[in-house]
Amino acid sequence: MSWEALIFQTVLSFLSEDQVMNSSPLIEKLIESLRCLPGVGIKSAQRMTLHLLERDRVSAKVLSDALAQAAEQVGNCDRCRILTEEGTCGICSNPRRDRSLICIVESPADVYAIEHTGSYRGLYFVLMGHLSPIDGIGPAQLGLEALQARVTEEDIDEVIIACNPTVEGDATAYYISEQLRETKAVLSRIAHGVPVGGELEYVDGGTLTHAFAGRRAIEVKEND
């Protein structure tokens, strides 16, 4: 048998093994559902499914209840747009937060990462993405009008732009700094420590703390 035929046969044998494992439509549905998670392929989804059904039905029930409740009830904070089941999230309604400071991030995961450092006591604004014309994401989708109104109305002293250091993040940060240049707020952007091309979510706490400490003011060019 040629090596190509051998590989082909081996692949086929794996496929039929999958089909045997998916003999129950409910199990098949669960495996397919788990595959919507980032980084979860067919094998991982099968492993999770079998673990929950064979060894941990209690956790399976807790997981399914928590998921159903969260999917049903979690929305966006009416102030900062982070995910919350309250109208206004716990950070925005906390009287101990510094209300003169707003940090702009791309996703709720960035807020969790920054909160984990314990070094930032201001408020947030979550863009829920970055400017991306090809995906139809413009200023309206990022809530930039609401951001501008907030910075103006709430007497914000400093806006820290913590967009990801990617091409899209840079473009978004530049657009926001242009939009906010007429307000009295000092604009800054987190700088060194965060790797270029990286995402805040994956940066460790110490690096993020340094990045915040080393933020610098953004220079906006005057229009001719």
Sign of the alpha-carbon dihedral angle for 32, 34, 37, 40:
negative
* Dist. CA 184–CA 181, nearest whole Å: 8
Tell me the closest approach of the beta carbon of residue 80 to Zn ion, in angstroms.
Answer: 3
Cβ proximity to Zn ion, 56 vs 86, nearer residue: 86
Burial of 106 per CB tally in 10 Å (0-12, 13-18, 19+): buried
Based on CB atoms, which residue is closest to Zn ion, 30 or 156? 156
Q: How many helices (H) and strands (E) does the chain have?
A: 8, 7
Residue 79 or 215 having the CB closest to Zn ion: 79
- Select from 104, 92, 96, 93 the least CA-distant residue to 164: 104
Neighbouring residues of 176: CB distance < 8 A, sequence distance ≥ 6: 104, 144, 147, 159, 161, 163
Q: What residues line the site for Zn ion (CB under 5 A)?
A: 77, 79-80, 89, 92
CB of 17 to Zn ion, least distance (A): 48
Nearer to Zn ion (CB atom), residue 76 or residue 152: 76
* Closest CB to Zn ion among residues 48, 126: 126
Torsion of CA 93, 97, 102, 107, to 10 degrees: -60
Question: What's the closest the beta carbon of residue 124 comes to Zn ion, in angstroms?
Answer: 7
Nearest to 128 by CA among 114, 143, 118, 116: 143
CB of 100 to Zn ion, least distance (A): 16
Nearest distance, CB of residue 77 and Zn ion, angstroms: 3
